[in-house]
Structures are given as structure tokens and as C-alpha cells.
């Protein structure tokens, strides 16, 4: 692909090859032997000069889109040199920064601290380093401090190097994208590595582990699994076969050039860590429930996880919005282009899930139906454009699920799926099938050199590449879809693809699976609210029948039509409204009770896609596998 002046190639020269610790390396010793107690001990030896040293604890980590550093869980912080304790002081307006007074003649200091890990799933996906008694997902940014980079003579991010090592509990094994220099007596050592690559290369360790090669002897792609039990490691053959097809389908999508040397899917399976998926250049940090590979429902619920994070190696890690590239980990990122970074990845992740076989075509369409319905229920779109959800991502990621329809959430993910499906169908129809979004992906993302590097881009670069594939007013198109408010989500990709969003009184299998895993009742498409298994009302769609009757998030349903609340009883009552049944809900709000009479006559409604007669099945064509 011809590269514009704005898209100058920025090579981050990460040191990957094992080597002895260099004189300028920061020696990082991480002792995780007591991880079962949720404590990690850290020791750093940092080369320095006399007078003072400013140290940062990382907070804005690439791929997280908001500050996530666990500085509140850092304890026992001390600095010393030549056997003497040094004075340090935290910055007034920045709790992630400390200044250390350095004595004359000092050439290095020792910094020690403990990291206290969250209990169970506490803190959610914002916590990057998590553990159960049987496994650990270690993200190095949580267990290090680094010298300030914007001082005269300071090494830039790609030149500041570390010599890391980690001590694990006896009998544990680990997987990571970093080349391992040596492993003995529970201690794993790595060669000199640049700070950027270190932070970009998490480590998964555990007592019960399994490695799954995805492409035979080449070793280019693999899955490394750690689980709380041996039973949870037993993925079915169909899942393993789909994983093995994934790299080939990605190559058909992006072309043969890779933005990585080798790629490792790290998969932590535990009921005692938060679920997550975090992208990295040469690996991904994936976390699911202990038996997620064994239980069919949980496998389907997580079908897009590996494809999504894998796509990020091209979109987000290799090609990255220029405003999201910062000199260090303390500068806030500008996230306005997340509808490209995450939205396009969400679409391509869904696409690869279907093409590789993690979803059947029917499940792929059911996924789209649920996405389209969910975005149709977001009434805040009437005042808040998609662009604003991306710009305000750091405030929305950890917001509660309640009121999301009224204020919007990180909708650039789900709406991004619809947005880029529409772009794909547009390209196919305008070129009469000669070109597809796959061609854009090859031109824009498929120019890697087989090593982790970053090429920055601006929106104009995206528009230019799209126009080279299929001339169109892409600038105006995305201005309407992204920057303007709209009462309805972009559904043209579905309708022009030969299908239509419809509703039935029977849920699809995928809807039933998702609803079951949520342990509640999803009635957003009928009466306009969701409710947990014990009756707690969740998100409520503005102006829906439930909202008009006075229901709101946080209320608790006590009775349905005079009978004690149960999920099945509520579904039955809503279904009976189609034949004239009443719907009266007794709800508790704080210390008060009220009966809410819902004016509703349409019964149960669940989203699905119906085939449109006389239109070509473009959707079926684009979902088809590209490898034999």
C-alpha cells in the first residue's frame, strides 16, 4: 500500500532477543510465589544520577483506553541506595508519580514494593494483574516504576530497557510472547527488553496448564491455557479445529504480511478473576470462567473473543490512531477514533468467528440481530452521537449497566459492528462484488514486516484507503453515521445484505444462551427492561412501556399479577398480554412499595433476522469461509 506523508512508519525498536542484563538495564525482580495470598513482591534496581529521580507508575496502558494503574494497591514502597533508606515524596497532583532524593556518588537505587491483588472479581476488567490460588495473569505495568522520560537526556520509551525475572509458586509453568532466557527452581528470566514491549507482553502462569499449537511444527501461533482445574483444560475438538482455522482466515482477510513474529493467545480460566480481553502486539490477555471451554453456552458466549483480540494485532497495535500514541504511560490518550480502532475490530472479530467456525452462519446472523436490537433500544442516540461515546470512552468504560440506554455506553463496539458491516456491503454492491472490505483490510493493515511495530494514521488515511477500493463519499457517509445524532442505528448493512431485523415470540438459541448466562430475563425488546433472577430491575429503555409505568433501574420486583415474582412467571405474564392478559408488577424501591400497571399488548418479542425475498444474500456471501 502506498503510504501517505501522515502515515509515516513509526518503528518501535523493541529488544526481543535474549541477552545478559546491560549496564543501563533496570533489573526487575517479581516474586509471585505468594500469589495465593494475593500479594506480589517487587524489587527494581534502577541506574541513576545524583540529585533526584522522578519515577512513574504506569496508568494509561495501550488497549485500555482509560487510566487503569493499580497505584492504590501498591504498599510497602521503599527506596534505598548503598544500604541506606532514601527520602521520597509523592507528587501533589499526581498520585502515580514520586520524586526520590539521590545522594552524591550514587549510581543506582533499589526500589521495593508489594502489589496487593483484588479479591475475586473485585474491580472488574480495569485490573490487569489478577490471580486465583491456581493461576496468575501478570501484566508488567502493574509491577514496575520507570524513570520520567521527558527530562533532558532521558531514554525514550523504546530505549528504556529492563532485565525482568519472575518467581512463580512451585510446580507452576508460564506462557508469554517474550522469549524466555532461562527457567530454574521456579524462577523464569528474560533478556533485555524495551519498556514498551515488556508492558505489551503479559505473562500467564498456573498449576494446571496446556499449550495448543495452531499451525503444527511452525509454532507461529499457539494457545497457552492456565485453569483452576485440569477438567477446564479439555476443549472440544470442534473448538480446537476452529482455533486452528483462525490464523488462516486472518491471513485471507489481511494478506500474508504479519505485524508480529509469533502470536500467543493467553487464556486464563477461573471463576475468581474478572472476565476480560486485552490486546497486545504478539499476544492477547483473555480471561473466562473456569469451565468456559467445557460448557457449550459459555463457548458460544465467548466465540468472538479470540478473533477480536487477534484482529487487534493489525488494527490497534500495528495501525494505530496518531492521537492514541503517547511518549509515556502518563499522558491521556485521545480516543475519538475508537469507532475505527474498536468498532472495525468488533466487526472483523465477528466475521472471523463465523468464517473460522466458532459461530455457525445461523449464530452469526443471530448475533447481528441481537446487536441491531440492542442498538435500536439506545434512545440516548437522539442527543449523543457515536463520536461522543468514543471521545468520552474513559468515563464510560467502568460506568454501570443501569441507564445505558438513556446515556449511552461504549457503543462504538456494537454500533461499530453495524457501521462496518454497512461499509462492507456498500463496497460489495457499488463494485458489483468485485471488491470487499477484505480488500481495504489488505491495503490498510496488511503491510507489516513480521515484527511488532506501529504505523500511525489519521481519519483521512482511512477515507483515502476506502476510496482507493471503492470510490464513494466516505467522508460524508461517516460524518452522518458517526458525528450526527440519529434516532435509529445503521441497519443498511443488514437490509442491503438481503435480510431484515424482525421480532418473534420465540428467542433464538443464541439469545437463550446469553440470557441464561446473565442469570436474568431480558425483556428490552418488549416491555423495555431487564431483570435479574432475584427481581432486580436493570437497564430500562426510555419511553418503553415499563419506563412509562414508572419502573427504573435499582427497583426490585416482588410480585407479578399478584403472585410472587419468578423469571418464568414474568415471561408468562408478558406473553399473555398478546391475548388480553394484564401486567401488574409490585416493585420495591428502598423502603417503599408500589404496583406498576404496564400498558402493553404485544407479548414477548425477541430479535431475529428474516430473509428478504428477491434480494441477493450478500450477508451469507461475506460470512463464508475463505480457506478450504
What CATH number is given to the structural domain containing 178?
2.60.40.3650
CA distances from 97 to 42, 58, 92, 156, 364 (A): 17, 9, 9, 17, 47
Residue 2 has pLDDT above 60, yes or no: no
Q: 555 and 475, same structural domain?
A: no
Give the end of a domain, one of 164, 179, 206: 206
- Residues 538-553 have a mean pLDDT of 97
Give the end of a domain, one of 159, 182, 206: 206
What CATH number is given to the structural domain containing 343?
1.10.390
Full-model pTM: 0.94
Q: 564 and 486, same structural domain?
A: no
Cβ within 8 Å of residue 216, ≥6 positions away: none
Instruction: Quote the cell numbers at residue 186.
Output: 521456579
Could you report the per-residue pLDDT of 457-505, keeping only the tens digit for each?
999 999 999 999 999 999 999 999 999 999 999 999 999 999 999 999 9
Across the beta sheet with 94-102, what order do the strands follow? Answer: 88-91, 94-102, 51-56, 146-147
Is residue 415 in some structural domain? Answer: yes
Is residue 347 in some structural domain? Answer: yes
What is residue 11's predicted lDDT score, i.e. its pLDDT? 31
Could you report the per-residue pLDDT of 347-361, keeping only the tens digit for each?
999 999 999 999 999
Could you report the per-residue pLDDT of 408-457, keeping only the tens digit for each?
999 999 999 999 999 999 999 999 999 999 999 999 999 999 999 999 99
What CATH number is given to the structural domain containing 577?
2.30.42.10
Q: 388 and 429, same structural domain?
A: yes
What is residue 506's predicted lDDT score, i.e. its pLDDT? 97
The mean-pLDDT minimum among 32-36, 148-152, 331-335, 605-609 falls in: 148-152
- Residues 603-623 have a mean pLDDT of 97
What is residue 159's predicted lDDT score, i.e. its pLDDT? 79
What is residue 155's predicted lDDT score, i.e. its pLDDT? 60
Residue 22 has pLDDT above 80, yes or no: no
- Could you tell me which residues are beta bridge partners of residue 53? 100
User: Number of folded domains in the chain?
Assistant: 3
Is residue 364 in some structural domain? Answer: yes
Is residue 447 in some structural domain? Answer: yes
Contact assessment for residue 30 and residue 168, using Cβ atoms and an 8 Å cutoff: no
> What is the chain's mean pLDDT, rounded?
93
What is residue 38's predicted lDDT score, i.e. its pLDDT? 94
Q: 173 and 140, same structural domain?
A: yes
Contact assessment for residue 26 and residue 163, using Cβ atoms and an 8 Å cutoff: yes
Band of residue 23 on the pLDDT scale cut at 50, 70, 90: low
Q: 492 and 567, same structural domain?
A: no
Give the end of a domain, one of 206, 229, 254: 206
Q: 129 and 35, same structural domain?
A: yes
What is residue 3's predicted lDDT score, i.e. its pLDDT? 33
Q: 363 and 440, same structural domain?
A: yes
- How far apart CA 329 and CA 60 sit, in angstroms, is 5
- Residues 89-109 have a mean pLDDT of 93
Q: 532 and 495, same structural domain?
A: no
Q: 195 and 80, same structural domain?
A: yes
Q: 453 and 553, same structural domain?
A: no
Q: 357 and 464, same structural domain?
A: yes
Q: 141 and 107, same structural domain?
A: yes
Domain that holds residue 551: 526-604
- Residues 52-77 have a mean pLDDT of 93
Is residue 163 in some structural domain? Answer: yes
Is residue 308 in some structural domain? Answer: no
What is residue 401's predicted lDDT score, i.e. its pLDDT? 87
- How far apart CA 35 and CA 457 sit, in angstroms, is 41
Contact assessment for residue 496 and residue 430, using Cβ atoms and an 8 Å cutoff: no
Band of residue 19 on the pLDDT scale cut at 50, 70, 90: very low
Residue 593 has pLDDT above 60, yes or no: yes
- How far apart CA 49 and CA 222 sit, in angstroms, is 43
Band of residue 110 on the pLDDT scale cut at 50, 70, 90: very high
Is residue 546 in some structural domain? Answer: yes
Torsion of CA 530, 533, 537, 541, to 10 degrees: 0
The mean-pLDDT minimum among 97-101, 124-128, 142-146, 593-597 falls in: 124-128
Is residue 274 in some structural domain? Answer: no
Could you report the per-residue pLDDT of 137-172, keeping only the tens digit for each?
999 999 999 998 765 555 666 779 999 999 999 999
What is residue 150's predicted lDDT score, i.e. its pLDDT? 67
What is residue 158's predicted lDDT score, i.e. its pLDDT? 72
Amino acid at each position: 500500500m502506498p503510504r501517505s506523508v501522515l502515515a509515516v512508519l513509526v518503528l518501535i525498536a523493541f529488544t526481543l532477543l535474549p541477552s545478559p542484563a546491560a549496564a543501563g538495564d533496570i533489573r526487575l525482580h517479581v516474586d509471585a510465589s505468594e500469589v495465593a495470598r494475593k500479594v506480589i513482591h517487587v524489587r527494581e534496581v534502577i541506574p541513576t544520577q545524583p540529585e533526584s529521580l522522578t519515577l512513574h507508575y504506569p496508568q494509561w496502558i495501550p488497549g485500555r483506553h482509560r487510566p487503569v494503574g493499580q497505584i492504590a494497591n501498591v504498599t510497602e514502597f521503599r527506596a534505598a541506595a548503598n544500604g541506606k533508606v532514601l527520602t521520597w515524596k509523592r507528587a501533589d497532583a499526581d498520585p502515580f508519580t514520586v520524586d526520590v532524593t539521590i545522594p552524591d556518588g550514587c549510581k543506582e537505587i533499589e526500589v521495593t514494593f508489594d502489589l496487593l491483588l483484588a479479591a475475586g472479581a473485585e474491580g472488574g476488567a480495569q485490573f490487569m494483574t489478577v490471580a486465583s490460588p491456581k493461576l496468575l495473569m501478570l501484566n508488567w505495568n502493574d509491577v514496575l516504576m520507570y524513570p520520567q522520560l521527558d527530562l533532558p537526556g532521558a531514554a525514550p520509551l523504546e530505549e528504556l530497557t529492563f532485565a525482568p525475572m519472575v518467581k512463580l509458586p512451585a510446580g507452576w509453568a508460564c506462557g508469554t510472547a517474550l522469549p524466555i532466557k532461562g527457567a530454574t527452581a521456579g524462577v523464569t528470566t528474560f533478556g533485555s527488553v524495551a519498556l514498551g514491549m515488556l508492558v505489551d507482553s503479559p505473562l500467564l502462569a498456573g498449576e494446571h496448564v496446556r499449550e495448543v499449537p495452531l499451525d503444527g511444527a511452525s509454532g507461529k501461533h499457539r494457545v497457552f491455557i492456565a485453569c483452576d482445574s485440569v477438567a477446564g483444560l479439555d476443549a472440544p475438538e470442534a473448538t480446537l479445529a476452529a482455533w486452528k482455522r483462525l490464523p488462516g482466515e486472518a491471513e485471507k482477510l489481511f494478506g500474508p504480511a504479519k505485524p508480529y513474529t509469533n502470536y500467543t493467545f493467553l487464556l486464563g480460566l477461573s471463576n475468581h478473576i474478572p472476565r476480560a480481553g486485552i490486546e497486545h502486539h504478539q499476544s492477547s490477555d483473555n480471561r473466562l470462567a473456569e469451565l468456559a471451554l467445557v460448557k457449550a453456552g459459555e463457548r458460544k458466549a465467548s466465540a468472538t473473543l479470540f478473533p477480536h483480540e487477534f484482529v487487534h494485532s493489525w488494527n490497534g497495535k500495528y495501525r494505530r490512531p496518531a492521537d492514541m500514541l503517547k511518549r509515556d504511560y502518563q499522558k491521556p490518550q485521545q480516543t475519538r477514533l475508537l469507532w475505527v480502532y474498536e468498532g472495525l475490530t468488533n466487526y472483523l472479530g465477528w466475521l472471523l468467528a463465523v468464517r473460522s467456525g466458532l459461530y455457525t452462519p445461523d449464530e452469526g446472523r443471530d448475533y447481528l440481530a441481537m446487536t441491531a436490537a440492542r442498538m435500536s433500544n439506545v434512545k440516548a442516540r437522539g442527543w449523543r452521537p457515536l463520536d461522543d461515546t468514543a471521545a468520552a470512552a474513559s468515563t464510560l468504560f467502568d460506568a454501570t449497566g443501569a441507564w445505558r440506554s438513556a446515556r449511552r455506553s461504549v457503543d462504538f463496539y456494537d454500533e461499530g459492528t453495524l457501521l462496518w458491516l454497512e461499509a462492507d456491503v456498500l463496497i460489495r454492491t457499488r463494485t458489483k462484488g468485485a471488491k470487499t472490505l477484505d480488500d481495504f483490510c489488505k491495503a490498510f493493515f496488511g503491510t507489516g514486516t513480521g515484527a511488532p511495530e506501529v504505523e500511525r494514521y489519521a481519519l483521512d488515511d482511512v477515507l483515502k484507503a476506502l476510496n482507493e477500493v471503492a470510490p464513494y463519499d466516505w467522508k460524508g457517509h461517516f460524518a452522518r453515521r458517526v458525528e450526527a445524532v440519529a434516532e435509529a442505528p445503521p441497519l443498511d448493512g443488514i437490509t442491503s445484505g438481503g435480510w431484515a431485523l424482525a421480532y418473534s415470540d420465540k428467542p433464538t438459541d443464541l439469545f437463550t444462551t446469553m440470557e441464561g448466562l446473565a442469570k436474568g430475563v431480558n425483556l428490552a425488546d418488549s416491555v423495555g427492561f431487564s431483570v435479574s433472577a432475584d427481581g432486580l430491575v436493570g437497564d430500562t429503555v426510555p419511553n418503553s412501556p415499563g419506563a412509562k409505568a414508572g419502573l427504573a433501574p435499582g427497583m426490585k420486583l416482588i410480585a407479578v399479577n399478584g403472585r410472587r415474582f419468578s423469571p418464568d412467571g414474568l415471561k408468562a405474564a408478558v406473553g399473555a398480554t398478546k391475548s388480553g392478559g394484564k401486567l401488574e408488577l409490585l416493585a420495591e424501591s428502598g423502603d417503599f412499595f408500589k404496583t406498576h400497571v404496564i400498558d402493553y399488548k404485544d407479548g414477548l418479542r425477541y430479535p431475529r433476522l428474516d430473509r428478504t425475498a428477491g434480494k441477493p444474500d450478500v450477508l451469507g456471501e461475506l460470512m463464508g469461509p475463505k480457506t478450504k
